[in-house]
Amino acid sequence: MAETYIVRSAAIAARKLGGEMMIMSVVDSTFFTLNEVATVIWQAADGRTPLSEIIERRVCEEFDVEPDVARQDAQQFVTELSQHGILLVSDQPIPEPKLGTAEAQ
């Protein structure tokens, strides 16, 4: 199975509050509040690290979750955010967008 790579879109505004990330698409004003697990995936979405590695090394270790459950949940999360253009998905490493990102931490 091919690897999946994810990167945050440049067309978003994001702010971390506590352990959660608030994200809004500047394209369609869709707003998401990410829980702690989704926030870890979001922050690790650099376009160079495969999603499988993010799940194995970050999600499973930090949250004591079974790999199969973590993979299924992560894929659902990635699919939903990619449908709104908030995450970009590829089967090859992709460069992280540089311009237009309004992210505060």
Domains, the chain, in order of start with CATH, read 5-85 (3.90.930)
Tens digit of each residue's pLDDT, the chain (105 residues): 689 999 999 889 999 988 789 999 888 888 999 999 999 999 999 999 999 999 999 999 999 899 999 999 999 999 999 998 899 999 999 975 554 444 444
What confidence score (pLDDT) does residue 103 get? 47
CA nearest to 38, candidates 4, 66, 70: 70
CB atoms within 10 A of CB 95: 10
Contact 14, 86 (CB under 8 A): no
Separation of alpha carbons 87 and 97, rounded Å? 11
What confidence score (pLDDT) does residue 54 get? 97
CA nearest to 31, candidates 19, 22, 40: 22
CA nearest to 53, candidates 99, 6, 86: 6
What confidence score (pLDDT) does residue 2 get? 81
Contact 83, 28 (CB under 8 A): no
Q: Under 8 Å CB-to-CB from 34, ≥6 apart: which residues? A: 20, 21, 22, 23, 42
